[in-house]
Amino acid sequence: MTTPAMKLTMAWALCFCAFSYAQQATQQQPSQAPADKNPELPAGPGKSTLVRVCSSCHSPDNVIANGQDRAGWEATITKMAGFGASGTDEEYTEILEYLVKNFPAGSSTPVNVNKATSAQLVSGLGFTSAEADATVKYREKNGDFKTIDDLKKVPDLDAKKLDAKKAKLAF
């Protein structure tokens, strides 16, 4: 036989169970930033730290253009710290591991020469700033480049250098 008092106790017990279960579930959630932030960056440990520490001056997408080896990434992070990036040693280590894993030497994403800013032409294609500025100026005056041959018409751009970067050019 169940008395009203027993019913009440059972209800409380159920309630308490549900509460502690919910609490446990929240505690088990990983403390990562929302996964859909910067979808162009591969998911993985260190991504949220990169987005947090490396977004204040430029887009964190900056890291996509040029893969580098560990020493290269170490040098980049040291350089960014010099510019004023504020991360802890632990955060820098996380970022370094993320970059070494996802953007190793030799990896590269093509640079759209019709959309890239002058700075992106420098960082993504290794143009000098004079070459990059000339490219943007030419584009503004003559419209989009359609092929590498259009790009070769930019005064100051070296055709040989462009051929060497062919795989990285997108139109």
From the list 40, 32, 42, 85, the residue with the least C-alpha distance to 61 is 40
Query: Smaller CB distance to ligand HEC: residue 62 or 109?
Result: 62
Contact between 121 and ligand HEC by CB under 6 A: the answer reads no
Among 47, 48, 51, 54, binds ligand HEC (CB under 6 A): 54
Chain centroid offset of residue 90 CA: 19
Contact between 85 and ligand HEC by CB under 6 A: the answer reads yes
Cβ at position 40, least distance to ligand HEC in Å: 14
CB atoms closer than 10 angstroms to residue 64: 19
Among 38, 48, 51, 53, binds ligand HEC (CB under 6 A): 53
Contact between 111 and ligand HEC by CB under 6 A: the answer reads no
- For 142-155, b/e burial (b = at least 16 CB within 10 A) is eeebeeeebbeebe
Judged by CB under 6 A, the stretch of 1-9, 29-37, 84-92, 144-152 that binds ligand HEC is: 84-92
Among 41, 63, 113, 134, binds ligand HEC (CB under 6 A): 63
Look-up: residue for tokens 């989009």? 144
Separation between Cα atoms, residue 109 and residue 5, nearest integer Å: 69
Among 15, 22, 57, 164, binds ligand HEC (CB under 6 A): 57
Q: Which residues have CB under 8 Å from 2's CB, separation 6+?
A: 10
Return residues touching ligand HEC (CB under 6 A).
53-54, 56-58, 62-63, 76-77, 79-80, 83-85, 87, 95, 123
